[in-house]
Amino acid sequence: MMEKIRTAANSIIVKIIFSIIILAFIFTGVGGFLGFGSSAKDEQVYIAKVDGEGISRNTFEKQAQELIQKNSHLIGDGSDDSFVKMIRASVLSNQIDNYLAYKFADSLNANISDEQVKMEIRKQPVFFENGRFNNQRYLQLLAANGYTPDTYADGLRSAIKQQQVMDALFLTDFVLPTDSDISLLDNQTRAIYLANYSIDNINDNDALAVSDDEIKNYYDTNKQEFYHDKRVKMKFVTNFLPAIKQDIQVLPSEVEKYHADSKDGTMIPEKRLYSVLSFTSLDAAQKEYNLMSKMQGKQRSSTKMDSLGWFALDEKLPELLTKIKLDTIGSISKPLEQDGDFYIIRLDQIEKAKKLPFEYAKASIHDLLYQQKIDKKYREQQTALEKAAKLPTLDEIAKKSGLPLYDSDWTYEKENFSVGRYPEINDVAFSDEMIKDGKPTGKISDIINIAQYDGSYIIQVTDYQDAGISTFEDVKDSIKAKLIAEKKKQIFSQKVATLLAQLKQTGVADGLSFAQKMSVTQNLVDDRINEKTVKDVFATIPAVEGNSYGVTLIGDDKAQFFVLTGVTYPEKADDLSEKIKPEMLILNRNSLAKDLRSKAEIKIMPNANL
C-alpha cells in the first residue's frame, strides 16, 4: 500500500495549479462548478462549501472518476479504497484552491478589454475548422451547452483575469542578488587533495580478538538465525565439461601446422557454374541433346541457357546435379527427368580450390582445435569414469579414473550455489536410496548425467541433518568471523573520526597521504572521487585562512578524506532564473494557497468519502 501511495504522490496527485478555471471547452464555467446559497439537500448537491458557496458534487465526481479511470493500472480492480480516497482528496483540494485563486483574482478588479476576450475566443482550437476559427461552429457549440455569446464572454473574462493575476505573481523572470550568489556557488571550482582510506587499514589483532564467551553468547541469543532446512554433505567425482574448458590451450604452432596441412576449414572448395534447358517432353529434350552433341565446345558453350548458379563441391547440391558427372567445361548431360519435366545440364565454369590466407583462417582454426581438444579430453575422462564406476569406494573410483575427489559443504534442497543446484543430483542426494532413518546409507550412486552442462557425477552422501537449528560447533567459526567484522567496522568508524580530528587540529594524520590533487566542480564525474565526496566537498565551508578538512564515508568499509585548499569563482554569474523557477513556483503557489485557505470558511460534506 505505501508503495502505491508513493507512486501516486509522484505521478498522479493533482498539483496546486492556479490556472484558468474554465477548462477544455471552457463550458464548465463558474456556474457549472459552484452552486450558491443553502438548501436542505446540500449534502446531495455539494461536495464542499467555500465561504458559503457550494462546489458541485457532480463536477467533482466527474473529475475524480476520470482521474481514477486514468490510473486504473495502479489501482487494479478498484478495490484499493485507501488509494481511491487519496485521489478523491487531491481532486477536491485542487478544486478548492482553484476557486480561492479565482475569487482572489476577481477581487483585484483587473481590467480585461473586450478585444482581449475576443482574441482568446479566436485562439481556442475547439472552435476551429480546417485550421481556422469558424464562427458558425462557435455559435453552435455555445448553444449546445446552454451559453449565449455574452454569458460565455463574461465567464472567459473572469478566467483571463485570474490567469493574468497568477502569471504576474508567479512567472516573473528577474533574478535577485541572492540568486546571483547561488549561481556563483553552483559554478565554482574547488581545489582539493584526496586520500583514500579503507577498513583493510585496520589490523589491530588485540582489538579485534573475540572470546569464546562472546561467540557462545551470540549463538545463545540468536539461535533462530541459524535455522536450516534439511541438508546433506557429499563426496563426489565429476567429469565436468566447463571445468575442462578452463585447462585447454591451443598453441600458435598447432594453428600454423593445421593450416600448412590444408586440413578442413583452411581451403576454399572448388566451385562450378551450371546452366540448364528445360523441356516438357523427352522427345524435345532428346532432339536438342542430339543437336548440341554435334556442336563444337565453343559453339555449345555459347548456346543460350538458363543459369543455375555457382555450387561448391562440399555443399548440398540440387537433386538434378547429383545425377550428372560433368568434368569438362562446355560438356552437357543427357536428358534428365524430374517431376514429369526433362532437363539438360551444362558445365560452364570451374573455379579450382584454393587455400584461405592464414590471417583470415587462424581464428576459426583455433576455435576448431580448441573444441576438438575439449571433446577428446571429455570423452577420455568419461570412458575412464565409466570403467571405474563399479569400484566399491569413491576413493578407488577417483584414483582409477584419474579424476579428483571433492567434499561438498552443506547442500540444501533447491540449492542455488553448490553442486546440489543440479536437480538431477539433488533428487538422488535426498532420495531414500541415500538417506534412511535420518542417516546416510553410504551407497555410491550410479553415474548421474547433467545434460544441460555436459557433466557427469558419481556421489556419496556422507552426512545428513533434518531441518532445525545448527549446532554451536557447526556455526562457531562463522559467528567469530561475523563478530570480528562488526568490531572492525566499529573500529574503522572510530578511526575515521580520530583521523579527521587530527587533520583539523594539526593538518596531518597518521597513515594518510594526500597525493591526489583534483579540481572539483558540482557535476564532476570521475572514477577517482565518489559522488558523495563531491557533495561533501561543496558542503564544506572554506576556511578564511588555511585549509578546510572533511571526510566521506562510503559504506561501512571505505572513506575518502579531502583537504579543501581553494575556491575559484566564475567571472560572471549565470542567470539561474529558469533553473530555480520551478521550485520557486511551487513554493509561492503553496504559500498563496495556505494564505487563501486561512481566510476562507471551508466545509467538507460528511459523505464526501475522502
Q: Using one digit for the tens of pLDDT, what is the confidence trace for 441-479?
A: 999 999 999 988 789 999 999 999 999 999 999 899 999
Mean of the pLDDT values across residues 425-438? Answer: 93
- Give the whole-angstrom CA distance, residue 596 versus residue 82: 28
Residue 254 lies in a domain: no
Strands of 106-259 (E only): list them.
128-129, 132-133, 189-198, 227-228, 231-240
* Number of neighbours of residue 92 by Cβ within 10 angstroms: 20
User: What is the C-alpha separation between 225 and 565, in angstroms, rounded?
Assistant: 49
The amino acid occupying position 423 is P
* Residue 66 burial class via C-beta count within 10 angstroms: exposed 0-12, middle 13-18, buried 19 and up: exposed
Task: Establish if 367 belongs to a structural domain.
Answer: no
Q: Distance of CA 61 to CAs 33, 48, 77, 212, 548, Å?
A: 11, 12, 19, 69, 59
Q: Which of 469, 502, 527 is the last residue of a domain?
A: 469
Domain CATH for 461: 3.10.50
Residue 549 has pLDDT above 60, yes or no: yes
- The confidence score (pLDDT) of residue 581 equals 61
Do 8 and 142 reside in the same domain of the chain?
yes
186: CB partners within 8 A, 6+ apart: 522, 574, 576
pLDDT at 20 over 80: no
* CATH number where 52 lies: 1.10.4030
- C-alpha cell of residue 325: 558427372
Is 9 among the domain residues?
Answer: yes
> pTM for the whole thing?
0.45
Residue 249: inside a domain, yes or no? no
What was the pLDDT predicted at 563?
95
* Ordered DSSP codes for 478-518: HHHHHHHHHHHHHHHHHHHHHHHHHHHHHS--TT----EEE
* CB-based contact 231:438 (threshold 8 Å): no
Q: Under a CB-based contact definition with an 8 Å cutoff, are residues 180 and 573 in contact?
A: yes
- Identify whether residues 239 and 154 lie together within a single domain: no
Q: What is the CATH number of the domain that holds 324?
A: 3.10.50.40
161 φψ region: left (φ > 0), alpha (ψ -120 to 50), beta (else): alpha
What pLDDT score was predicted for residue 75? 59
Same domain, 327 and 398: no
What is the predicted pLDDT for the residue at 183?
Answer: 55
Pairing of strands 455-465, 128-129: unpaired
Q: Are residues 417 and 564 in the same domain?
A: no
Q: Quote the cell numbers at residue 595.
A: 494564505
For 71, which DSSP code? T
57-72 pLDDT, tens digit each: 888 888 888 888 877 7
Check if the beta carbon of residue 388 is closer than 8 Å to that of residue 289: no
Residue 259 forms part of a structural domain: no
- At 432 the pLDDT is 94
pLDDT tens for 147-199 read 788 878 877 787 777 777 767 666 655 445 555 555 556 678 999 999 999 98
Range of the domain at 48: 2-172+600-604
Please report, rounded to a whole number, the percentage of residues in the chain having pLDDT higher than 70.
Answer: 84
Reported in sequence order, the residue ranges of 304-358 that DSSP labels E, i.e. its strands, are 306-312, 336-338, 341-351, 354-355
Strand ranges inside 333-419, DSSP E? 336-338, 341-351, 354-355, 405-407, 411-412
Q: Above 60 in pLDDT, residue 3? A: no
Pair 554, 457 in one domain: no
Q: Compute the mean pLDDT over every residue in the chain, rounded to the nearest whole number.
A: 82
Torsion of CA 62, 64, 70, 73, to 10 degrees: -140
Domain C-terminal end among 446, 469, 492 = 469
Co-location of 204 and 149 in the same domain: no
Say if 584 falls within a structural domain. no
Residue the block writes with cell 593445421: 258
Domain count, the chain: 4
Cβ pair 314, 285 in contact under 8 A: no
464, 437 Cβ separation under 8 angstroms = no
Please state, in angstroms and rounded to a whole number, the distance separating the CA atoms of residues 38 and 47: 13
- Report pLDDT for 175: 47
The residue out of 469, 500, 526 marking a domain boundary is 469
> 341 and 279 in contact (C-beta within 8 Å)?
yes
131 in the same domain as 111 = yes
